[in-house]
Structure 1
Amino acid sequence: MIASPALLALREATASAHETLETEARIEARLADPTTRAATVADFYRFHAGLEPASHPQVAELSRAVGAGFDPRSRANGIAADLAALGEPTPPSALAPQLRSVGEALGWVYVAEGSMLGGRIIRRRLTAEGRGLEGLAFLDPYGEETGERWRALIALLDLACTSGRASVDQIVQGGVDGFAFAQRTLQPQTQDAAA
């Protein structure tokens, strides 16, 4: 299979931000720790609840227009259910900036969908360590569908570019901005930072 030019450009442009997010946000460690789990799940809610209204409608419309099989799905509702299972209230969403193009919206969705791939890995590691998974259903909401969804998103990236509805530069800008939004919303809060 030939690698997608849009995917290659996204990976190259966001590699550093992805690594910084993994290192500085300490997501896996915070989810493993019962004292920081609820706050970390709340951060994920803020991220998805802010990202989805800004990006999903544009991406859904694009997918229909180009005949792609990708349908963005909300994770915010599932994360709210996880928070309820942890006995926590649903926080307000983070305020996402206005997206200037469908290409940028695709970049943001790339960040969100990619977090599901990472979520599956985190969930497996926590299980292997014998840690409980209460409040963590959002890490793997699609189970075996995850890979199929990822491939459908990559196909949509390519269709968006070949149809002229988005450019690689717009998609990359959205991915860079999406990671910056993730960094702002998923970074440990002051009380978590010492944990």
Structure 2
Amino acid sequence: MKTIFFPAVLGRMKHLPRWALMPNIRTENVHEHSMDVALIADLLCAIRNELFEGSVNAGEVVRAALYHDASEIFTGDVATPVKYANPEIKKCLKAAETEACTKLIDMLPDSIQAAYRDSFFPSQDIKELVKAADKLSGLTKCILERKLGNSEFGDAEESHHSWLRENCGHMHEVGYFVDHCIPAYESSLDKVLRR
């Protein structure tokens, strides 16, 4: 019987730190970040479908969100300033990510590889929702660090707000999330429990 390495290798996302170039008060790894992105993506889908008459398949979006950074098992979490330093670096990293995703899919039995291909290589519409959820997750991390007294994340917080304004202005669900959900990240647990 052939050993299937796919879940064991994905489990290694727990060992990949995020925000490695910045001092963190509360460390975060790629595994927990992926879960956070999936939760936010799921809510974005519900907001789009129920409040703005959308018809996106939440299951497909959530699966894509779960695996959106899986390639980092092989590439590591490359810092944003490095990743986007110039077009050639960005192109090379994209190629490495594609190769890493293909390698992960190849770890599955042939008969189920196709079931995962769309999760690792989603359509543009799904990719756009996952990217928005990814940036929202990054924004919530910045808010948490600021609340804990870490001023190092101030520029990153503003950068995430700017990116969301510039790239998601057409996505009503993102605006709704920013207006109605982001303020809750500023609240203490006691304040939340008193509601």
Q: When the two structures are superposed, what TM-score results if normalisation uses the length of structure 2? A: 0.32
If asked which structure has higher relative contact order (CA below 8 Å, sep 6+), I would say 1
> Whose radius of gyration is greater, 1 or 2?
2
Q: When the two structures are superposed, what TM-score results if normalisation uses the length of structure 1? A: 0.32
